[in-house]
């Protein structure tokens, strides 16, 4: 459906009312630092916070990946959503009246605004229906199961809004469509009913099942998990993917666990709904559950928003199926794990029990569980134990198989120190207690790891050619510095323009040339800045990111200053001199190289005039380079490096 064009007044009102801290804190754990807030960036993987939110500027910026913008841009990027969608959601959130440019499209706009809200309402009604049915005679067996077999108290049943789907084929359908008047196509879109064959109506998707609502991070119900109370398959049935629910991107109980994950700085992932519910009931609340699929990279990245140390503990069942699930989860997030971007641990509970069983079978089980979490092995140690399981190292073929599996595992570790530690560890295992063999086993492992790398590199040798990096870096840094001064020190703008024009210098790199073009176009709109007024240039440029997202993304880092850059930029006159000298030096260096190449090709006997011209030209430009180096009397590379570090 075409989105109606929004009135500029609506867009402006939304931008004025939407609070950057309020919006970002829904997705990132923020901690106060000075007048701003910091947290782990949601747009790239990092171990220490480089993501900054400034309430005074109403902007965010990541010094790691250069993502930046306002509240609208943040929601567009984090949710991969359109500008109009975000404005409409924020308008509803902050109760901003919505106006469009075409009055005839208002009905279409209202439908767009209300679609997701209607689905939320339908799912909330279904939850209330299931909760009510749990207390009726037909739900007695389900309620007894919760209290007796699952040992859940009334408070936990209410907290998780557990319910019961009656056994009839059209019970919920009749309630929502016939009694509540909800449009049948929306009830179907919510994942609650499915069409019969040959257009013979609809039937309830969940029947005679214990119902477990699934919430988004804001606590809104987006789907259900239904557990059968009989011996039938599937044992658990999830809602299908809907406009609100994507099980590969959702974690059960994250809405209840996010604060505890942030406070304890670690997250626990279990397999089943009732494992998570039982742990929450026992006071262990930093726990979420996957939704019947292998833990995905997207789900892990969702968790990493809430833990600064990026520690995640997998507590799947210790049986064969649970071990396979752990291995699948590790493989799914292997890139993050091998690079150390997630501090992954694996916990197998004693006796092969799942978390729910463990809590019911041991005295002081909650305290024991916490202790086991604190000593859970790192995923590499756990995987090595899995490789050893059932192996007889006295059997030559099994010994060789184990060594090869170890090489495969260790060769993927990025960090040199970590790899060396585990190579030594595996060497000791293969030596079976004979210290004399350890160096030989370690050498064997290292040799085969290097051979594996060489083979891999041969298969992936189509790397792009390298540029003259030192020259390009100097040019890039000098141009960026001039642009940063222009943006953040308005009083020096005319100086920069005059200097560039006087020396006939241009911005050479395309991202900087694009930004300079935008600046020149917008400069006429900028009122001269006084101490009493704020400079609107950066805000106007940020608006261009909607029109030119890729180009503006490449220069967004220039819109922000960290503390170091704020200190360095105080030396603005010297920086302008050094930066412009650097730009000219790059041009002169290219010309000197060209003159030298031409001079070397010429024969002075046959072309004496040209030979003399290039000789003199080379000498002249060489002298100019020395003059420029004098102008750069303090080291521009050091200054710029400090400004960019």
Residue 2 lies in a domain: no
Q: Answer with the residue of higher pLDDT: 387 or 494.
A: 387
Q: Answer with the residue of higher pLDDT: 396 or 140.
A: 140
Q: 344 pLDDT exceeds 70? A: yes
Q: H or E element: which one contains 3?
A: none
Residue 497 lies in a domain: yes
Q: H or E element: which one contains 618?
A: helix 608-631
Q: How many helices, marked H, and strands, marked E, lie in the chain?
A: 29, 15
Q: For position 176, what pLDDT does the model report?
A: 96
Q: 485 pLDDT exceeds 60? A: yes
Q: For position 103, what pLDDT does the model report?
A: 59
Task: List, for residues 524-572, the tens digit of each pLDDT value.
Answer: 665 555 544 456 787 778 777 777 877 888 888 888 776 656 655 556 6
Residue 107 lies in a domain: no
**Strand 51-54 versus strand 209-215 pairing type:** unpaired
Helix ranges (H only) for 467-604 are 469-488, 493-502, 510-523, 537-547, 549-553, 563-568, 572-601
Residue 109 lies in a domain: no
Residue 3 lies in a domain: no
The CATH number given to whatever domain includes residue 49 is: 3.90.580.10
Mean local confidence (pLDDT), 11-32: 85
Task: List, for residues 449-459, the tens digit of each pLDDT value.
Answer: 888 776 665 55
Assigned token pair, 614: 């290039």
Helix ranges (H only) for 555-607 are 563-568, 572-601
Residues 550 and 567 in one domain: yes
Residue 420 lies in a domain: yes
CA distance 278 to 298: 25
Residues 287 and 365 in one domain: yes
Task: List, for residues 603-637, the tens digit of each pLDDT value.
Answer: 767 787 887 787 778 778 878 887 787 766 544 44
Residues 578 and 605 in one domain: yes
Is 205 within 8 Å of 193 (Cβ atoms)?
A: yes
Q: For position 428, what pLDDT does the model report?
A: 94
Task: List, for residues 49-73, the tens digit of each pLDDT value.
Answer: 889 998 877 889 998 888 888 999 9
Residues 218 and 300 in one domain: no
Structural domain range at position 180: 114-244
Residue 106 lies in a domain: no
Q: Answer with the residue of higher pLDDT: 32 or 278.
A: 278
Residues 163 and 232 in one domain: yes
Q: For position 640, what pLDDT does the model report?
A: 44
Task: List, for residues 141-158, the tens digit of each pLDDT value.
Answer: 999 999 999 999 999 999
Cross-strand pairs, 52: 38, 61
Residues 371 and 402 in one domain: no
Q: 641 pLDDT exceeds 60? A: no
Other beta carbons within 10 Å of 167: 13
Residues 168 and 77 in one domain: no
Residue 87 lies in a domain: yes
Sheet with 51-54: list strands edge to edge.
Answer: 31-33, 36-39, 51-54, 59-62, 68-69
Q: 364 pLDDT exceeds 60? A: yes
Task: List, for residues 495-527, the tens digit of each pLDDT value.
Answer: 888 777 777 677 878 888 888 888 887 776 655
Is 277 within 8 Å of 210 (Cβ atoms)?
A: no
Q: pLDDT above 70 covers what percent of the chain? A: 87
Q: 426 pLDDT exceeds 90? A: yes
Last residue of a domain, one of 424, 459, 494: 459
Last residue of a domain, one of 439, 459, 479: 459
Residues 628 and 505 in one domain: yes
Last residue of a domain, one of 384, 405, 431: 384
Q: What are phi and psi of 42, to 5 degrees?
A: -80, -5
The CATH number given to whatever domain includes residue 308 is: 3.40.1360.10
Residues 137 and 278 in one domain: no
Residues 503 and 452 in one domain: no
Task: List, for residues 154-194, the tens digit of each pLDDT value.
Answer: 999 999 999 999 999 999 999 999 999 999 999 999 999 99
Q: Answer with the residue of higher pLDDT: 99 or 214.
A: 214
Q: pLDDT above 90 covers what percent of the chain? A: 34
- What does the mean pLDDT of the chain come to? 83
Residues 85 and 134 in one domain: no
Q: For position 105, what pLDDT does the model report?
A: 59
Residues 32 and 60 in one domain: yes
The CATH number given to whatever domain includes residue 149 is: 3.90.980.10
Count structural domains, the chain.
5
Is 101 within 8 Å of 29 (Cβ atoms)?
A: no
Mean local confidence (pLDDT), 268-278: 94
Query: pTM of the prediction?
Result: 0.60
Read off the pLDDT band of 107 (50, 70, 90). Answer: low
């Amino acid at each position: 459906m075409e989105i109606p064009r929004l009135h500029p007044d609506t867009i402006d009102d939304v931008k004025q009312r939407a609070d950057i801290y309020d919006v970002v804190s829904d997705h990132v754990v923020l901690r106060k630092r000075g007048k701003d807030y910091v947290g782990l960036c949601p747009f790239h993987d990092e171990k220490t916070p480089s993501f900054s939110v400034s309430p005074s500027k109403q902007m965010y910026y990541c010094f790691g990946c250069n993502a930046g913008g306002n509240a609208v841009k943040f929601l567009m990027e984090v949710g991969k959503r359109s500008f109009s969608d975000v404005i409409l959601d924020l308008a509803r959130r902050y109760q901003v009246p919505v106006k469009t440019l075409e009055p005839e499209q208002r009905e279409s706009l209202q439908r767009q605004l209300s679609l997701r809200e209607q689905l939320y309402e339908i799912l909330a009604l279904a939850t209330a229906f299931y909760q009510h049915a749990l207390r009726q005679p037909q739900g007695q067996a389900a309620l007894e199961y919760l209290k007796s077999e699952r040992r859940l108290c009334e408070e936990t049943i209410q907290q998780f809004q557990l319910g019961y789907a009656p056994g009839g084929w059209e019970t919920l359908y009749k309630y929502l469509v016939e009694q509540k008047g909800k449009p049948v196509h929306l009830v179907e879109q919510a994942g609650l009913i499915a069409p019969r064959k040959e257009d013979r109506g609809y039937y309830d998707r969940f029947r005679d099942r214990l119902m477990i609502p699934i919430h988004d991070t804001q606590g809104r119900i987006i789907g259900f998990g239904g557990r059968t109370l009989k011996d039938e398959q599937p044992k658990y049935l999830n809602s299908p993917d809907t406009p609100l629910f994507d099980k590969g991107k959702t974690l059960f109980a994250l809405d209840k666990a996010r604060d505890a994950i942030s406070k304890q700085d670690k997250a626990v992932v279990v397999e089943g709904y009732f494992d998570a519910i039982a742990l929450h009931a026992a006071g262990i609340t930093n726990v979420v559950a996957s939704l019947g699929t292998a833990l995905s990279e997207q789900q892990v990245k969702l968790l990493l928003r809430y833990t600064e140390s990026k520690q995640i503990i997998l507590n799947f069942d210790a049986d064969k199926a649970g071990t396979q699930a752990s291995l699948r989860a590790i493989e799914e997030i292997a890139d993050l794990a091998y690079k150390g971007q997630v501090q992954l641990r694996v916990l197998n509970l004693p006796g092969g029990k799942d978390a729910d069983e463990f809590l019911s079978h041991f005295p002081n089980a909650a305290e024991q569980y916490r202790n086991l979490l604190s000593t859970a092995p790192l995923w590499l140690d756990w995987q090595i134990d899995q490789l050893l399981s059932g192996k007889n190292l006295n059997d030559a073929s099994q010994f060789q198989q184990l060594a090869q599996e170890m090489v495969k595992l260790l060769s993927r570790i990025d960090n040199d120190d970590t790899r060396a530690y585990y190579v030594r560890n595996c060497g000791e295992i293969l030596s079976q207690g004979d210290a004399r063999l350890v160096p030989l086993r370690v050498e064997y492992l290292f040799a085969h790891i290097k051979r594996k790398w060489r083979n891999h590199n041969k298969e992936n040798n189509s790397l792009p050619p390298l540029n003259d990096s030192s020259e390009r870096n100097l040019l890039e840094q000098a141009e960026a510095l001039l642009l940063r001064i222009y943006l953040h020190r308005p009083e020096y703008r005319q100086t920069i323009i005059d200097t560039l024009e006087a020396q006939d210098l241009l911005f050479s790199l395309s991202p900087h040339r694009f930004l300079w073009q935008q600046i020149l176009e917008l400069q006429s709109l900028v009122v001269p800045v006084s101490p009493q007024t704020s400079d609107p240039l950066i805000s106007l440029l940020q608006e261009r990111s909607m029109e030119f997202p890729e180009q503006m993304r490449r220069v967004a880092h220039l819109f922000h200053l960290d503390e170091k850059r704020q200190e360095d930029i105080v030396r603005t006159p010297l920086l302008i001199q050094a930066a412009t000298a650097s730009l000219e030096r790059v041009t002169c260096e290219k010309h000197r190289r060209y003159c030298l190449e031409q001079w070397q090709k010429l024969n002075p006997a046959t072309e004496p005039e040209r030979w003399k011209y290039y000789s003199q030209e080379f000498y002249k430009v060489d002298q100019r380079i020395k003059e420029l180096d004098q102008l750069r009397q303090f080291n521009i590379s050091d200054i710029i490096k400090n400004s960019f570090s």
